[in-house]
Amino acid sequence: MGRWKRWLHLADEFYKAPYRGAIAREKRDQEDLFMLLVFSELMGVPNPASYYTLELQPILLENFHDWHTRMGMEKSPLDNFRCC
Amino acid sequence: MVSMNAIYLVVTGVVFVLLGYRFYSKFIAEKIYRLDPNFETPAYTKRDDVDYIPTDRIVLWGHHFTTVAGAAPIIGPAIALIWGWLPAFIWVVLGTMFFAGVHDFGALWVSVRNEGKSIGSLTGEVISVRARNLFMIVIFLLLLMVNAVFAVSISNALVATPSSVIPTWSAIAVAVVIGVLIYKMHVPILWPTIVGTTILYAVIWVGDQVPVELPAVVMGLSAGPQWILILFGYAAVASLLPVWLLLQPRDYINGIQLFIGLGLLYAAVLLAGPEITAPAFNMDAKVIGAPPLVPLLFVTIACGAISGFHGLVASGTTSKQLDKEPDARFVGYLGSLGEGLLAIATIVVVSAGLGSSEEWRAVYSEFGMHGIDTFTRGGAGILASGLGLPVEFAATLLTVMAVLFAGTTMDSGVRIQRMIIQEWGTIYKMPFMQNHYLATLLAVSSCLVLAFGAGGSDGQGGMLIWPLFGTTNQLLAGITLLVISIILVKLKRPYKYTLYPMFFVTAMSVLAALYQLMGFFENGQYTLLAFDLLIIVAAILVILEGFSAFNREKANTV
Is the CB of B58 inside 8 Å of chain A's CB atoms?
yes
Query: Residue A72: its chain B contacts at CB < 8 A?
Result: none
Cβ neighbours for B108, distance < 8 A, ≥ 6 positions apart: B314, B315, B318, B319, B322, B328, B331, B332
**B108/B35 Cα distance (integer angstroms):** 11
Characterize the bridge pairing of strands B217-218 and B221-222. Answer: antiparallel
Task: Please indicate, yes or no, whether the overall pTM of this predicted structure exceeds 0.95.
Answer: no
The predicted complex's ipTM stands at: 0.85
3-state class of B276 per DSSP? strand
Cβ neighbours for A71, distance < 8 A, ≥ 6 positions apart: none
Q: What is the largest CA-CA distance in chain B?
A: 71
**B236/B540 Cα distance (integer angstroms):** 33
Decide if B255 and A14 are in contact by the 8 Å CB cutoff: yes
- The CATH number of whichever domain residue B229 belongs to comes to 1.20.1740.10
**B488/B499 Cα distance (integer angstroms):** 10
Q: What is the largest CA-CA distance in chain A?
A: 59
| Tally of domains within chain B | 1
Task: From B406, B408, B415, B330, select the one nearest B375 (Cα to Cα).
Answer: B406
The gap from C-alpha B392 to its chain's centroid, in whole angstroms, comes to 27
Decide if B243 and A12 are in contact by the 8 Å CB cutoff: no
CB B249 within 8 A of CB B179: yes
**B231/B254 Cα distance (integer angstroms):** 18
Between B465-490 and B119-126, two packed helices, what is the crossing angle to 10 degrees? 50
How many Cβ atoms from other residues are within 10 Å of residue B380's Cβ? 25
Whole-angstrom CA distances from B470 to B76, B118, B265, B478 are: 9, 21, 25, 12
**B240/B483 Cα distance (integer angstroms):** 33
- For residue B51, give how far its alpha carbon lies from the nearest alpha carbon of chain A (Å): 5
Dihedral of CA B501/B507/B511/B517: which sign?
A: positive
- Our CA angle for A45, A47, A52, nearest 5°, is 135
Decide if A14 and B51 are in contact by the 8 Å CB cutoff: no
Name the residue type at position B175.
Answer: A
| Secondary structure (H, E, C), B189-240 | CHHHHHHHHHHHHHHHHHHHHCCCCCCCEECCEEHHHHHHHHHHHHHHHHHH
Cβ neighbours for B1, distance < 8 A, ≥ 6 positions apart: B279, B357
3-state class of B187 per DSSP? coil
3-state class of B12 per DSSP? helix
Per-residue pLDDT of chain B (558 residues; tens, 9 = 90+): 557 899 999 999 999 999 999 999 999 999 999 999 999 999 999 998 888 999 999 999 988 888 877 888 999 999 999 999 999 999 999 999 999 999 999 999 999 999 998 888 899 999 999 888 888 888 888 888 888 888 988 998 999 999 999 999 999 999 999 999 999 999 999 999 999 999 999 999 999 899 999 988 888 888 888 999 999 999 999 988 889 999 999 999 988 988 999 999 999 999 999 999 999 999 888 878 888 898 989 988 886 667 788 877 777 788 999 999 999 999 999 988 888 999 999 999 999 999 888 889 988 988 877 888 899 999 999 999 999 999 999 999 999 999 998 888 888 888 888 888 888 888 788 888 888 889 999 999 988 888 887 655 555 545 677 888 889 999 899 999 999 999 999 999 999 999 999 999 999 999 999 999 998 898 888 888 888 898 889 888 988 999 999 999 889 876
Interface of A with B in 22-61 (CB under 8 A): 22-26, 28
Query: Residue B49: its chain A contacts at CB < 8 A?
Result: 24
Residues spanned by the domain of B274: 4-557
Decide if B248 and A26 are in contact by the 8 Å CB cutoff: no
CB-nearest to A25 from B50, B249, B251 is B50
Interval B357-368: pLDDT, tens: 888 998 898 887
**B455/B466 Cα distance (integer angstroms):** 12
CB-nearest to B242 from A10, A14, A26 is A26
Phi-psi region of B56 (alpha: psi -120 to 50; beta: other; left: phi over 0): beta
CB B304 within 8 A of CB B104: no
**A65/A44 Cα distance (integer angstroms):** 19
- For residue A81, give how far its alpha carbon lies from the nearest alpha carbon of chain B (Å): 27
**B149/B79 Cα distance (integer angstroms):** 13
3-state class of B322 per DSSP? strand
Is the CB of A70 inside 8 Å of chain B's CB atoms?
no
Task: From B138, B141, B139, B121, select the one nearest B129 (Cα to Cα).
Answer: B121
Decide if B189 and A15 are in contact by the 8 Å CB cutoff: yes
- For residue A7, give how far its alpha carbon lies from the nearest alpha carbon of chain B (Å): 10
Name the residue type at position B252.
Answer: Y
Query: Residue A8: its chain B contacts at CB < 8 A?
Result: 188-190
| Secondary structure (H, E, C), B486-544 | HHHHHCCCCCHHHHHHHHHHHHHHHHHHHHHHHHHHHCCCHHHHHHHHHHHHHHHHHHH
CB B47 within 8 A of CB B53: yes
φ, ψ at B543 (rounded to 5°) = -65, -40
The residue of chain A with its CA nearest to that of B321 is A17
CB-nearest to A13 from B59, B248, B317 is B59
Task: From B282, B237, B213, select the one nearest B414 (Cα to Cα).
Answer: B237
**B293/B283 Cα distance (integer angstroms):** 11
Interval B198-251: pLDDT, tens: 999 999 999 989 999 998 888 888 888 899 999 999 999 998 888 999 999 999
Decide if A13 and B242 are in contact by the 8 Å CB cutoff: no
Characterize the bridge pairing of strands B275-276 and B221-222. Answer: unpaired
Query: In a mutagenesis test of the B interface, which of A12, A19, A69 is the best target, namely the one with the most B β-carbons within 10 Å?
Result: A19
CB B472 within 8 A of CB B302: no
